[in-house]
Amino acid sequence: MNWAQLRREILLLVLSAASSWSIAEECRFPSSWQGRWFQGDLGDIQISSDSFLPKGRCIQNIEKTFLLESKDDVRICYSCVVITERHFNVLQYKQSVHCNQAYNSIQTACVIRGDAPLFTLVREPATPIPSPFQGAYTFTYDNMTGLCDTPRSQVAGCASNSHLKFRFKECPGFYDTSNLDLDLEVLATWRDGDNYMYGKFTNKNIVTSKRLIYRCFKYEVRGSTVSLASSADALCQGIFSVTDAPLTMTLSKDGRWPMPGCTFPSWVTQTTWRDMAYAYQYETDDDGYSIRIRHSKIPGYPFRIMKALRCQTGNSSANVFEAVSYTSHGCHSNYQCVRFIKRQNSVIEVHTGEMASMFEDACSGRYTQNLEKKVLIPSSITSTLCPMVNNFSIRTVISPKCQDTIQTGGCYDNSKVKVQLCENVAVQTLECLISWKEQSKTFLVAKIPDDDNMIANCFTIKDNGDNVQLTIDAGCNGDAAFIISQPIQYTFKEQPGPCETTKRDPSDSSEDGLNSDRTSDSNSDSTDNSYNSASYSRTCNNLITLLICNCLYILSLQPRLCS
């Protein structure tokens, strides 16, 4: 078949389709396509609801075929693109050869040869996805200069399941082979006859050209072997098969990479956890075998994965689970002892030992002498009732110049404690997140409301009979910064009289925040016709406080606070 016949057949196909499809009255690109896309040396493409810039504005479309109009000072012309979504992060398209002034409809402009170049677009920025093959491999490679198989190159397993680290080895006597480490982040996979994978290299010190950052791959998985072929640049061109491409590799599973042998307990896996400093988040994979630890405050989507704990063997008791984990820190992996302790339903403690090269050494000897400890709370934790619910004076041994200030724990919001260290210092508020008791110690985790850093502090509450001491607990708090302007060591002592601050602005309404005189409420005449909804709210608040105090008494917290 010659080109003229092929051209006529494609035109007939488009015309036939157009006769059965209705042309959209208003051309719109899917919302999921909108944004910035990279296509190698050809420059970026910006897709909006009705434009495919710099190629033009869409004026007609039939499903994935789009007629574009382009204007300049001299002329108006029309071109056509046929776009296929391969993955949320990858689009591919073919286009008509010229922008034509005469062909101003889909039927006339959208005549595209079957052998027209296929262009690939990758979303920027793109969310990484899990690699289609996981773990560690050894591999041979051929970059069109001969098979480099001695020494064997390696693919290292990494903490992130979207990350592959290729360690290419130089083969003596082979041109254009070298010792080179390349980190690949997987962005998309799809199937179009063959299996395709798209990724980008993240080694900024090695890959300097944006055109060379991105790569397209064909791959084939057969048991423990992976055949992989790579393009030479960002376009998915020149990959004819997994054995015929600018770079081909044969990967074989590395037997030193162990398979998971246990799952973590449900009281660990059912929640996404965070530390007090909100520096890390702990999230379990769906299979329950692996826990991935993410940086919470390093740019990147999602949070950059720092470490992965893969359960190998574990021993469990009621509130303790100890395991040997095959741990990846970045792309360096070894065995590690991990111990989880359940301190409360919403509080766990995790201890990790040093990395050991041998499985049997991980939970013994020097590898467990300096365990790293972190106390974790749920990432989605919300405020709860504070143990200190009443009107108190505060004394701090840290700031002796300002000894007495009234704070109002239960007057405004039972989940917050207001603290003012000095008359001319702004009021600071602690929002209570969770409290629990262990033997004779009561713990409280609190944060500053609406704090962008999300830092929490862990305190101990000591009942001294006539007062309550609130102190930062170093063992529980870890390396979290202090959320108050100075280290906390407060003594709370209940104050008699109404629940209101001593230096209250007279212009404040007594109804605001339920800041009312509870004594006058209790002594008010029951026949007073001025008893309104605000009075009802104040009375209701007193009843709630009474119930809370009874509960605190049962829990052996400070009973004198609620007299």
CATH number of the domain residue 299 falls in: 2.40.128
Q: What is the pLDDT along the chain (563 residues), one digit of tens a residue?
A: 544 454 444 443 444 444 333 444 578 999 999 999 999 888 899 999 999 999 999 999 999 999 999 987 788 999 999 999 999 999 999 999 888 888 888 888 888 888 899 999 999 999 999 999 999 999 999 998 899 999 999 999 899 999 999 999 999 988 888 899 999 999 999 999 999 999 999 887 776 677 789 999 999 999 999 999 999 988 899 999 999 999 999 999 998 899 999 999 999 999 999 999 999 999 999 989 999 999 887 655 445 788 999 999 999 988 999 999 999 999 999 999 999 999 999 999 999 999 999 999 999 989 999 999 999 999 999 998 887 655 555 555 555 555 444 444 445 567 887 766 666 666 778 899 999 998 888 999 999 998 888 999 999 988 776 677 778 899 999 989 888 765 555 555 555 554 444 333 333 333 333 233 333 333 333 333 332 333 333 333 443 333 343 333 333 443 333 33
Whether residue 468 is found in the same domain as residue 495: yes
Whether residue 31 is found in the same domain as residue 69:
yes
Q: Are 454 and 278 in contact (CB under 8 A)?
A: yes
In the chain, the amino acid numbered 360 is: E
For 192, residues 6+ apart whose C-beta sits below 8 A from its C-beta are: 86
* Residues contacting 251, CB < 8 A, separation 6+: 133, 137, 138, 139, 155, 225, 226, 227, 228
Residue 459 lies in a domain: yes
- Give the Cβ contact number of residue 285 at 10 Å: 16
β-sheet with 405-408: strand ranges across: 405-408, 391-396, 489-494, 468-472, 456-463, 441-447, 428-438, 416-419
First to last CA, the chain: 98
**Same domain, residue pair 231 and 162:** yes
> Quick one: 341 and 433 in the same domain?
no
Question: Cβ atoms within 10 A of the Cβ of 146, count?
Answer: 13
DSSP string, 294-351: EESSSSSSSPPEEEEEEEEEEEE-SSEEEEEEEEEETTEEEEEEEEEEEEETTEEEEE
> Given this model, what pLDDT does residue 121 score?
96
What total of structural domains would you count in the chain?
Answer: 4
Report yes or no on 497 lying in a domain: yes
Question: From CA 402, how far away is CA 421, in angstroms rounded?
Answer: 6
pLDDT, position 113:
85
Contact, 276 vs 457, CB < 8 A? yes
> In sequence order, what are the beta bridge partners of 45?
37
Last residue of one domain, picked from the residues 59, 89, 124: 124
Residue 143 lies in a domain: yes
Please tell me whether residues 281 and 230 are part of one structural domain: no
pLDDT at site 109: 86
Torsion, Cα of 353, 345, 313, 304 (10° steps): -60
Same domain, 411 and 538: yes
Give the pLDDT score at 26. Answer: 77
Q: Do both 10 and 98 map to the same domain?
A: yes
On whether both 235 and 143 belong to a single domain, the answer is: yes
The residue segments making up the domain with residue 373 are 266-378
Is 207 in the same domain as 298?
no
**Within this chain, do residues 400 and 448 fall inside the same structural domain, yes or no?**
yes
Number of other residues whose CB lies within 10 A of the CB of residue 172: 8
Asked which of 103, 124, 145 is the last residue of a domain, the reply is 124
Cα–Cα dist 200/318, whole Å: 45
> Is this model's pTM higher than 0.95 or not?
no
- Do 368 and 405 have their domain in common? no
User: In this structure, are residues 100 and 129 in contact, taking their beta carbons and an 8 Å threshold?
Assistant: no
Residue 368 sits in the same domain as residue 481:
no
Tell me if 450 is assigned to some domain. yes
Among residues 239, 277, 281, the alpha carbon closest in space to that of 445 is found at 277
- Locate 543 and state its tokens: 């009843």
